[in-house]
Amino acid sequence: MSGLTLTARAVSDATTVRTQCAVVPVFSGEALQGAAKALDSAGGGSLSATLKLEDFSAKRGQSTLLPGAAKAQRILLVGCGKRGDFDRVAAREFARTVYSALNGTTAKDALVLLDDLSVHDATAEWLLETLARSLATGAYRYTETVSEPQPALTVSKVTVSSVLGKGPAQTALDAGAATASGINTARNLANLPANICTPSYLAQQARKLARGNSKLTVQVVDEKQMRELGMHSFLSVTAGTAEPARLIIMNYSGGRKSDKPYVLVGKGITFDSGGISIKPALKMDEMKFDMGGAASVLGTMTAVTEMALPLNVIGVIAAAENMPSGTATKPGDVVRSMSGKTIEILNTDAEGRLVLCDTLTYVERFKPEAVIDIATLTGACVVALGSHASGLYSNTDELADALLAAGTEAHDRAWRMPLWDDYTKQLQSNFADLGNIGSAGGGSVTAACFLSEFTKNYSWAHLDIAGTAWDAAPKWATGRPVGLLTRYLIDRAGK
């Protein structure tokens, strides 16, 4: 999707490799070493001369382009700051700088020389994976509905040399590239407008992913089948729209038959107007991103299939549009969910939990190892955590810890929130078993508590990504939490 190929190669002498651009990390306040030193000698001291001028002092985030030396057409020096301070934060900045500096050249290929670069608090694998992910996500462009999209990255082949052997290095690059494919897939789906990205469109994309992959099968449940299944909570959300709802099931069997599947469930509200409890006009367009959870499920399935992980993973998308009309659900209506529990719909804008609760009941049939739902569920979560952390809720500590660790590792972090009975009490209704909104306060928690009423039969976690799925300015989907989910699944496959 990014059009970028990343290849590992052990380069013992940087002056022997033909490349349009040699990318050389440089630390500040020390003499040139390794590949930098070799290229400097081959180029008659041009690197050390540049450092002497002090325009480029190898500070973090700094880069400069020099004429070629030996078999390199050009040399890109990338500042890394002090060697003693080169940690994960610095390494992520290094990776971003490599991308933006390469984006400023017309080179078609590049050779990134990392042998001299080690990250204090991370492995060499982490560095390669991070670099690969950064380059391939940087290369993403939104093209579908604009006449003159941002020009594509000209670099299409990147070779990376590091202290790792070729095999492990390639595995790390592949993991980073696959994660990036997943992130880019999720971003693109979420960026698409709601008149293109409908529930049926999402179903088509799932089918497209399965094409030619014998390990992935797709099943799509339509409204008639949902009615037979008793999914009246789900159906209440789609009652007001002309756009048909879809429950999309992507079944990937990379593991043994007897391995229990990991199930991902994504909220796929392709547009959330609020329904009869209609939203204000300001920023209502952003509710095209209300399928960010669904996009992250399709994205993660993309990454999982690309890596052919030896696991069974089922991705499920609850797709519907939430609109007001003469046939729409009204505040005060009571519906019976698939679980048998009745729900008083006090606010038709609290629709995510209504499609999710039936979907969470539906997935019991898979006898899951764990179920993780991902949803742009509440504005309250944005108030609580802003845009840096997704809200994490879980009925199983081990699952919660594994997801938190994966989020840290992938720098796609989550923060655990409580699921206490005290909050569940806020959902009491006089006219049904549950109301779909809580009395005032803790809106992200009461939404999660609502879901927890439907997930008692398996290990479950919920990620509220309302604050993390897209950036407000500039307005773009982030592809989160594909990084977290993919890392979590890679870790499960390694066990």
Instruction: Give 466's contacts (C-beta < 8 A, 6+ positions apart).
Output: 375, 376, 377, 378, 379, 381, 382, 391, 444
Peptide bond into 474 cis (omega under 30): yes
In the bound complex, what is the minimum distance in angstroms from residue 463's beta carbon to ligand BES? 13
The helix or strand, by DSSP H or E, that contains position 360, with its residue range, turns out to be: helix 352-362
Q: Which residue lies nearer to ligand BES by CB, 115 or 272?
A: 272
Spatial distance between the Cα atoms of 115 and 33, rounded to a whole number of angstroms: 10
| φ and ψ of 69, to 5 deg | -150, 150
Told to judge if 480 belongs to the known catalytic residues of this protein, a careful annotator would answer: no
What are the CA-CA distances from residue 175 to residues 134, 250, 410, 483 (Å)? 12, 21, 11, 11
Q: Which residue lies nearer to ligand BES by CB, 15 or 347?
A: 347
What are the CA-CA distances from residue 428 to residues 342, 343, 455 (Å)? 11, 10, 18
Contact letters (x/-) for ligand BES, 279-298, by CB under 6 A? Answer: -----------x--------
Q: Which residue lies nearer to Zn ion by CB, 50 or 478?
A: 478
Given 158, 247, 350, 399, the residue binding ligand BES (CB under 6 A): 350
SS3 annotation, 426-448: HHCCCCCCEECCCCCCCHHHHHH
Among candidate residues 353, 413, 480, 492, the one labeled active-site is: 353
The token pair that represents 63 in the structure block: 């880069």
Q: Which residue is nearest to Mn ion (CB)?
A: 349
**No. of H helices and E strands in the chain?**
15, 19
Contact letters (x/-) for ligand BES, 441-460, by CB under 6 A? Answer: --x-----------------
Given 40, 272, 306, 373, the residue binding Mn ion (CB under 5 A): 272
Contact predicate 269/244, CB 8 Å: no
Contact letters (x/-) for ligand BES, 356-385, by CB under 6 A? Answer: --------------------xxxxx-x---
The token pair that represents 251 in the structure block: 């079944």
Told to judge if 353 belongs to the known catalytic residues of this protein, a careful annotator would answer: yes
Q: Which residue lies nearer to Mn ion by CB, 261 or 435?
A: 435
In the bound complex, what is the minimum distance in angstroms from residue 469's beta carbon to ligand BES? 8
Q: Answer with the entry of ligand BES, Zn ion, Mn ion, none that 347 interacts with (C-beta below 5 to 8 A by kind).
A: ligand BES
Given 253, 347, 387, 408, the residue binding ligand BES (CB under 6 A): 347
In the bound complex, what is the minimum distance in angstroms from residue 392's beta carbon to Mn ion? 21
Contact predicate 374/267, CB 8 Å: yes
In the bound complex, what is the minimum distance in angstroms from residue 295's beta carbon to Mn ion? 17
Contact predicate 288/197, CB 8 Å: yes
Query: Which residues in 340-369 contact Mn ion (CB under 5 A)?
Result: 349, 351
* Contacting residues toward ligand BES, per CB under 6 A: 272, 290, 347, 349-352, 376-380, 382, 437, 443, 466
* Contacting residues toward Mn ion, per CB under 5 A: 272, 349, 351
Catalytic residue annotation: 279, 353
